[in-house]
Amino acid sequence: MKTLKTWAAHAAIVAGIAAPFTAPVTAQTVYQVPALSDYSGPFASIMPMLGAGREGVVNWWNVEHGAKLGVKLELKTYDTRYDTAQTASLWPGVLATRPVIGLALGGPDTAALQQRLPTDKVPMVLGSAANGFGWRPNQWVMATRPTFVHELTGFIEWFQKNKAGGTRPVKIAMFTTEASPTFADMGKGVTAYAKANPAIVNLVEMVYVEPQPADVTLQLRRVLNAGAEVVLVPTNIQQAVAVKRAMQALGKNVPIAYSLQNSPAMLQKLVGSIAAMEGDYEVHGSVIATEEDTEAKRFYDMLVAKHGLKGPWHSLTTIGISQALVMVRVVEAAAKKNGGDKLTGEMLYNTLIDTTFPARDFYGFTGGDIDFSVEAPFPTKDPRVNIGQVVGGKLTTVAKGVPVPKLAKW
């Protein structure tokens, strides 16, 4: 009969044999990531999708990458109501949690924080496109997409080459408004591009209307009579719907090009169905959320199946996914270089500036590589856009990684 000593010795031998096959437990440093959000303002209806995309990525990264690096990220939501004053008032409380990086939502965040972040040493990642008036050096709110104007001019050059034969300027018109700084900036930038590139584009008219126009039939008839071959409406849902209804009322089928925030997925119920948007385009530096079997769709499905993502496969969900992917890749690169327990905001800012993150790191959720510089708070080395089109009643991807022209500041 074995004695207690014998049993103890046997157990020690077994433990010694098993030890080399037991993965060591890595101590984790927890970092809070402020996720600036809007659950009670103008974007309250879409925030659950965008927020779900953020959460799914962070859940995945904590398990698949963070655990190995000794890092755990915890998203902490702050409802800014998409308001500059509210964002500013919340920020001291955010800073008290000692964040090293955060997720921005849009213009009010940038307006409230851009000038103080270099002092506070907290970089923020923005999932929207950038704008021209934010094209300044030493900025700490970094957009994952180039400016809206970069995206639009990439589409114009693609359309001129592929739909207008590439031998003559393509005639375009654009609807926007002067009531919004960002939307007015789009008009200014596209106008400047058209003046500088008469061999590529003939800007029939830059049509300025109200942010929520009741009817734009007269304006649309005017630009169509002038020969516009494509109409750009990259602004908001209200203007997009107004232009589409005017197109239907006129019985015309000139294609309309939208951006991500007013994409066909957002508009289809408001204009009757996706079939009512036959031939229309969606263009931006993020993934086109089609039902095609793509790497991006497979990554989304994995987040749903394994990491609790509850948002639908939708263009707005992809904004949250793409900005969170950029954020975690920055944390990952800094942790590998400096150690997971030593991260600081300045370290992550320098990682953003000094590192080119290849497109393969983002599973199709970006137009191309992600790189930043001191000179611009958006990708500038080789920005690219993706283009979708409604064909046969379905949104399809018609072009990936379309190069964006080099633009001078407007």
pLDDT at 108: 87
108: Cα within 13 Å, side-chain hemisphere: 20
DSSP state at residue 313: S
| φ, ψ for residue 237, nearest 5 deg | -65, -40
**Nearest in space to 409 (alpha carbons), one of 375, 382, 386:** 375
C-alpha to C-alpha distance for 292 and 306, rounded to whole angstroms: 21
C-alpha to C-alpha distance for 285 and 367, rounded to whole angstroms: 5
C-alpha to C-alpha distance for 338 and 331, rounded to whole angstroms: 10
To 10 degrees, what angle do helices 315-338 and 345-354 make? 100
Q: What would the pLDDT profile of 165-213 be if each residue is shown by its tens digit? A: 999 999 999 999 999 899 999 999 999 999 999 999 999 999 999 999 9
Whether residue 80 has pLDDT greater than 50: yes
Say which range, 12-26, 49-63, 116-130, 260-274, has the weakest mean pLDDT: 12-26
The residues facing 77 across adjacent strands are 35
The set of residues, in sequence order, having a beta carbon less than 8 Å from that of 211 and lying 6+ positions away, is 177, 179, 180, 183, 235, 236, 238, 239
pLDDT at 45: 86
The residues facing 357 across adjacent strands are 370
Q: What would the pLDDT profile of 144-170 be if each residue is shown by its tens digit? A: 999 999 999 999 999 999 998 999 999
What is the pairing mode between strands 394-403 and 384-391? antiparallel
C-alpha to C-alpha distance for 288 and 366, rounded to whole angstroms: 10
The residues facing 54 across adjacent strands are none
Residue 276 — left, alpha, or beta (φ > 0 → left; ψ -120 to 50 → alpha)? alpha
C-alpha to C-alpha distance for 325 and 295, rounded to whole angstroms: 14
**Nearest in space to 185 (alpha carbons), one of 131, 127, 258, 259:** 131
| φ, ψ for residue 375, nearest 5 deg | -75, -25
pLDDT at 26: 62
| φ, ψ for residue 243, nearest 5 deg | -70, -40
Q: What would the pLDDT profile of 245-262 be if each residue is shown by its tens digit? A: 999 999 999 999 999 999
The structure's pTM equals 0.89
C-alpha to C-alpha distance for 338 and 325, rounded to whole angstroms: 20
Whether residue 313 has pLDDT greater than 60: yes
Q: What would the pLDDT profile of 334-382 be if each residue is shown by its tens digit? A: 999 999 999 999 999 999 999 999 999 999 999 999 999 999 999 989 9
| φ, ψ for residue 78, nearest 5 deg | -125, 120
The residues facing 205 across adjacent strands are 173
The set of residues, in sequence order, having a beta carbon less than 8 Å from that of 372 and lying 6+ positions away, is 142, 352, 353, 378, 379, 380
Residue 108, token pair as written in the block: 């009010």
Say which range, 8-22, 193-207, 231-245, 331-345, has the weakest mean pLDDT: 8-22
Whether residue 300 has pLDDT greater than 70: yes
Which amino acid, 238? Answer: Q
